[in-house]
Amino acid sequence: MQEKHLKQKETAQLLGISESRMSDFLNGKRPLNLNQVKQLRDKLNIPANFVLNNL
């Protein structure tokens, strides 16, 4: 997110989730599902293995 200069709210909107759920992901309170990992890969050009290795 930081490298793409996106705020938490903007990233949540891209994934179609609430800002509070995005916060939970970022704070390790809730895991991303496979669909969300794919969306990060496709919409933000973030390699899926990077997302999965940094959960």
Q: Please check whether residue 1 lies inside any domain of the structure.
A: no
Token representation of residue 51? 């997302």
pLDDT of residue 52: 76
Range of the domain at 32: 8-53
Q: What total number of domains does the chain contain?
A: 1
Q: Please check whether residue 39 lies inside any domain of the structure.
A: yes
pLDDT of residue 55: 63
Q: For 1-55, what is each residue's pLDDT tens digit?
A: 667 788 999 999 988 999 999 999 989 899 888 888 888 889 888 887 887 777 6
Token representation of residue 31? 């895991």
Query: How many angstroms separate the CA atoms of 47 and 18, rounded?
Result: 23
3-state helix, strand, coil split of the chain in percent (to 5) is: 60, 0, 40
pLDDT of residue 24: 95
Q: Please check whether residue 3 lies inside any domain of the structure.
A: no
pLDDT of residue 22: 92
pLDDT of residue 18: 95
Q: Please check whether residue 48 lies inside any domain of the structure.
A: yes
Note whether 8 and 19 are within 8 A (CB): yes
